[in-house]
Protein backbone atom coordinates (compact mmCIF):
# COMPACT_ATOMS: atom_id res chain seq x y z
CA UNK A 1 0.00 0.00 0.00
CA UNK A 2 1.27 3.46 -0.88
CA UNK A 3 0.39 6.58 1.10
CA UNK A 4 0.69 10.13 -0.18
CA UNK A 5 0.22 12.99 2.23
CA UNK A 6 1.69 15.04 5.02
CA UNK A 7 2.75 14.31 8.58
CA UNK A 8 3.04 16.72 11.49
CA UNK A 9 4.68 15.47 14.70
CA UNK A 10 4.50 11.90 13.39
CA UNK A 11 0.75 12.02 12.71
CA UNK A 12 -1.03 12.29 9.38
CA UNK A 13 -2.36 15.80 8.82
CA UNK A 14 -3.83 17.77 5.97
CA UNK A 15 -6.09 17.64 2.97
CA UNK A 16 -5.59 15.49 -0.11
CA UNK A 17 -4.28 12.40 1.66
CA UNK A 18 -4.40 9.33 -0.57
CA UNK A 19 -3.86 5.57 -0.34
CA UNK A 20 -3.10 3.39 -3.34
CA UNK A 21 -2.82 -0.36 -3.70
CA UNK A 22 -1.16 -1.62 -6.88
CA UNK A 23 -1.76 1.80 -8.49
CA UNK A 24 -5.49 1.70 -7.60
CA UNK A 25 -6.84 4.60 -5.56
CA UNK A 26 -8.54 3.30 -2.38
CA UNK A 27 -8.85 6.43 -0.24
CA UNK A 28 -8.78 10.19 -0.61
CA UNK A 29 -9.59 12.51 2.22
CA UNK A 30 -8.43 14.65 5.09
CA UNK A 31 -6.57 13.88 8.31
CA UNK A 32 -6.20 15.92 11.50
CA UNK A 33 -3.86 14.72 14.25
CA UNK A 34 -3.73 11.21 12.81
CA UNK A 35 -7.50 10.76 12.50
CA UNK A 36 -9.62 10.83 9.37
CA UNK A 37 -11.56 14.11 9.54
CA UNK A 38 -13.63 15.90 6.95
CA UNK A 39 -14.62 14.86 3.46
CA UNK A 40 -13.66 11.33 2.43
CA UNK A 41 -14.00 9.04 -0.57
CA UNK A 42 -13.35 5.30 -0.25
CA UNK A 43 -13.05 3.00 -3.27
CA UNK A 44 -13.29 -0.73 -3.93
CA UNK A 45 -10.24 -2.47 -5.41
CA UNK A 46 -11.96 -2.32 -8.81
CA UNK A 47 -11.98 1.50 -8.67
CA UNK A 48 -15.73 1.89 -8.03
CA UNK A 49 -16.70 4.44 -5.37
CA UNK A 50 -17.62 2.68 -2.11
CA UNK A 51 -18.35 5.58 0.24
CA UNK A 52 -18.54 9.35 -0.01
CA UNK A 53 -19.18 11.38 3.10
CA UNK A 54 -17.66 12.91 6.20
CA UNK A 55 -15.64 11.60 9.11
CA UNK A 56 -15.01 13.05 12.55
CA UNK A 57 -12.12 11.71 14.66
CA UNK A 58 -11.82 8.55 12.56
CA UNK A 59 -15.53 7.66 12.47
CA UNK A 60 -18.28 8.32 9.97
CA UNK A 61 -20.24 11.38 10.95
CA UNK A 62 -23.14 13.14 9.27
CA UNK A 63 -24.47 12.57 5.79
CA UNK A 64 -22.89 10.13 3.38
CA UNK A 65 -23.55 7.69 0.58
CA UNK A 66 -22.49 4.06 0.39
CA UNK A 67 -22.42 2.08 -2.83
CA UNK A 68 -22.41 -1.59 -3.77
CA UNK A 69 -19.40 -2.88 -5.67
CA UNK A 70 -21.36 -2.56 -8.92
CA UNK A 71 -21.80 1.20 -8.34
CA UNK A 72 -25.47 1.12 -7.34
CA UNK A 73 -26.38 3.25 -4.31
CA UNK A 74 -26.82 1.06 -1.22
CA UNK A 75 -27.96 3.77 1.18
CA UNK A 76 -27.82 7.51 1.80
Alpha-carbon separation of residue 68 from 13, 41, 71 (angstroms): 29, 14, 5
Which segments of the chain have a pLDDT < 50?
A: none
Q: Which domains does the chain have, with CATH numbers?
A: 2-75 (2.20.110.10)
Q: Residue 51: its pLDDT value, please?
A: 97
**Do residues 46 and 67 make contact, with C-beta atoms less than 8 angstroms apart?**
no
Tell me whether strands 35-43 and 24-32 are parallel, antiparallel or unpaired: antiparallel
pTM (two decimals): 0.83
pLDDT in tens, 6-22: 888 888 888 878 889 98
Amino acid sequence: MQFEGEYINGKRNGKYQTYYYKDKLLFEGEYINGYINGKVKLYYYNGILKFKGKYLNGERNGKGKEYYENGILEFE
